[in-house]
Amino acid sequence: MPLLTEAAVTGTAVDLRTANTAAEAWCTEVNAAVHSEICAVPDERLITERDLLQPLPSLRLQIGAPSVLRKVDRLSCIRYGSARYSVPTRLIGTTVAVVVDHGAICLLEPSTGVIVAEHELVAPGGVSILDEHYDGPRPAPNRGPRPKTTVEKLFCDLGADAQAFLVGAAAIGNTRLASELEILLALGMR
């Protein structure tokens, strides 16, 4: 800017008001001439581009680390840093904001900013699942017999003792169980 260059050479002080006035005059002069890089007049180009300009997406103040958006999958989990983190089941199919802070991960609803889940960070490939996100712990698997034949189904209908017998016989590897079940079933029907 010419005013500042002259002031530096002569050693005179320039006040803010004078500097601003000189800067406006210099910008008007420079923007009215053809620019060497773009081969166009900047003032004319601004008029053309003004129709294409749009407002900024958000001017909301961001405090802390920026958040990342993740979609909640059908297992009620999100993936972040190659690890899985659970969220409440009511959020399946929605998007949550992920914020990492001091070794913990906070999952927020983007529209309200409400924290829906908090987890400690886990290593890549790790999983952090909280039972309260799934309405309690998973039910214990049913380890009872799964009868396939009619004879097995009839034998299991005799009660818990018959089912326990089947499980025990299968556990020790009894291969003649099918023929023995018919005999035992006949005894049980008497």
The stretch 2-25 carries a mean pLDDT of 77
Domain positions in the chain are 2-50, 68-134, 150-188
Per residue in 112-136, pLDDT (tens digit) is: 889 999 999 999 999 999 988 987 6
Supply 174's token pair.
């009894």
Give the best-scoring range by mean pLDDT among 50-64, 72-86, 145-159, 166-180: 72-86
Q: Is residue 163 classed exposed, middle or buried when 0-12, 13-18 and 19+ CB atoms within 10 A define those classes?
A: middle
- Of 33-37, 41-45, 149-153, the one with minimum mean pLDDT is 149-153
pLDDT at 79 over 80: yes
pLDDT at 39 over 60: yes
pLDDT at 138 over 80: no
Concatenating the DSSP letter of every residue in 28-93 gives HHHHTSPPTTTSS-HHHHHHHHHTT----S------SSPPEEEE--TTSEEEETTEEEE--GGGTT
pLDDT > 70 fraction of the chain, expressed in percent and rounded: 87
The pLDDT value recorded for residue 12 is: 75
pLDDT at 62 over 70: no
